[in-house]
Amino acid sequence: MIGPTAPCDLTASELGTKLRAGEISAVEILDSCRSRIDAVDERVHAFLARTDDLAREQAKAADARIAAGDAPGVAGIPLALKDVLSTAGVTTTCGSKILETYVPPYDCTPWERLRADGGVLLGKTNCDEFAMGSSNENSAFGPVHNPWGLDLVPGGSSGGSAAAVAAGEAVWALGTDTGGSVRQPASLSGVVGLKPTYGLISRYGLIAFASSLDTVGTLTRSVRDAALLLSAIGGKDPMDATSLDEPRRDYTEGLESEISGLRVGVVREAFGEGVEPGVRNSVRHAVDELANLGAQVGEASLPHADYALSAYYLIAPSEASSNLARYDGVRYGLRVDGADSVEMMTRTRGAGFGGEVKRRIMLGTYALSAGYYEAYYGQAQKVRTLIIRDYEAAFEAFDVLVSPTSPTTAFPIGAKIDDPLAMYLNDVFTIPANLSGVPAISIPSGVDAGGLPVGLQLTAPVLAEPTLLRVANALEAALGFDARPELIAA
Amino acid sequence: MPLQIDIEHVARLARLALTDHEKERLREQLGVILENAAKVSEVATDDVPPTAYAIPRSNVLRADEITPSLTSEQVLANAPEVESDRFKVPRVVEVE
């Protein structure tokens, strides 16, 4: 069913209310999502695998729990998972040929928690190979097409998750954000993307890219849904030594409180050259709305933000080159035979990895190699300190910071694929939050002259998710963004 | 002068087979990316300490108790080649 009233187009919060009131069943919601996937995914290509049989069982079980009055808020809501998150018994490829046949023996913690709460898994979503990319063109299984324009990228690396939510194929989805991979596709696809504080969501079962930066995040159709989903999956996990000692808590509490008097800093450096006028205007307009809501708006500065991109492209590839050493053709994944173990390993990796992954492994291997470590990785880690200090200073004067999420709206597939530096610039405003671990969220602030969605990023201090979500929720209501992708508006 | 990178050496360290075309492109692209990345040295002065983890944690311990873990069958299920309940790999050392 295609149309503005299909259940698959509602938010999880709206569907939850209907489920509890007996107005709809989880099976009906699932069928609505499945019909939408059938109708559009041949063109969008958001899904790499569908788990139809599993989903039906889970939806039925959710209906039984709802009928018994024992259902958490996420029960019966269809979910899509980025294919870097392990699912027991369900192939998990990371968008890579090297893991094309890999079937994890265990669930990642976020999905394990959602499953226990009555979640319904629709399938695994397409992504840039090992989450490396900003356009989803680096998937070994073909690009994702943006529902707002099928010849456009949806952003990346969680492009499949963002597109699935934008097109009504999934009600919500999980992604991962190492340098902007949840927020940037949310921005380009017109949905809400939350990257919480580093360590707030367990990474057990997340296949690693850059361990000091990797963060699980949510893609949803509203800020309230982001709060609801975070409540279900956040908090300490003994299986992840990097997870913070935070209790599981309800992030929808206090969401509707006023933001009058809150101090909002507009990041000066994020409105310069390279930012499209349509993006700048939309975000400026949203800042005016924040002032109308009673926020105290001022100018903030992150003086070292300019160096964040350079530091990131040393730190992330270095960590990736180490993490991806595990793909050696021995324990899982592809093997290409060779005369001895080293030749087998070398051929396997040459055949199994795509261009961008090879580029980053080479970059990281070089940056960590004898004689260069201090000059590259060591120096980049110092810049990381400077970025953290920038935020500390900014958050003395402000409760939240605001900037565009990405300098541009969605661009054509193929436009930047041959120019790595131009591609990396997509993440120039999102990377600083990863380097410093602070939470950030992208919400749609409007559309540009071409009708494409613009994303606005809010950033808050470590573990200030309640403030971040409260401001995002108030701004979302004030902006009343209700544009829909052409694909499903018909 | 653009940065000269010994691509063969780095590929050997990374255990990565590359075609001639890939080597040529990587030599060029890594040079450009690294020149740009070298910008970090403009501000990374001696008095700035490095940060490895933004939110540092240390000595994360748990009680030394046995908990359920994967069976060897589960662990071996994804292996390209298995023999006698073990991962099988090609020859590692030369036979005399």
**How large is the ipTM?**
0.94
Q: Is B28 on the interface with A (CB under 8 A)?
A: no
Q: Is the pLDDT of residue B93 over 80?
A: no
Average pLDDT over every residue of B17-35: 94
Contact list in A for residue B87 (CB cut-off 8 A) is: 330-331
CATH 3.90.1300.10 in chain A, residue ranges: 7-263+398-489
The DSSP line for A331-344 is SSS-----SSHHHH
Each residue's pLDDT tens digit, A176-216: 999 999 999 999 999 999 999 999 999 999 999 999 999 99
Q: Is A331 on the interface with B (CB under 8 A)?
A: yes
User: What strands lie across the sheet with A192-195, from one edge to the other?
Assistant: A47-50, A120-125, A78-82, A172-177, A215-220, A192-195, A440-447, A453-459, A400-404, A263-267, A296-300
d(CA A266, CA A271): 9
Least confident of A69-73, A475-479, B15-19: A69-73
Question: With b meaning 16 or more CB within 10 Å and e meaning fewer, what string describes A405-429?
Answer: bbbbbbbebebbbeebeebbbbbbb
State the pLDDT at residue A258: 94
Q: Is the pLDDT of residue A4 over 60?
A: no
Q: Is B82 on the interface with A (CB under 8 A)?
A: no
Average pLDDT over every residue of B30-56: 92
Provide the β-strand partners of residue A175.
A217
Task: Tell me the residue length of chain A.
Answer: 490
Distance from chain centroid for Cα A428 = 16
- Contact assessment for residue A151 and residue A133, using Cβ atoms and an 8 Å cutoff: no
Average pLDDT over every residue of A472-481: 98
- The structure's pTM equals 0.97
Catalytic one of A82, A124, A195, A416: A82
Report helix, strand and coil shares of chain B as percent, to nearest 5: 35, 5, 60
The verdict on whether A181 is a catalytic residue reads: yes
The verdict on whether A13 is a catalytic residue reads: no
Considering the domain A7-263+398-489, what is its CATH architecture?
Answer: Alpha-Beta Complex (3.90)
Amino acid making up residue A453: P
Each residue's pLDDT tens digit, A348-386: 999 999 999 999 999 999 999 988 999 999 999 999 999
Q: Is the pLDDT of residue A113 over 70?
A: yes
In whole numbers, what is the pLDDT of chain A averaged over residues? 96
State which residue of chain B sits closest to A316, comparing Cα positions: B52
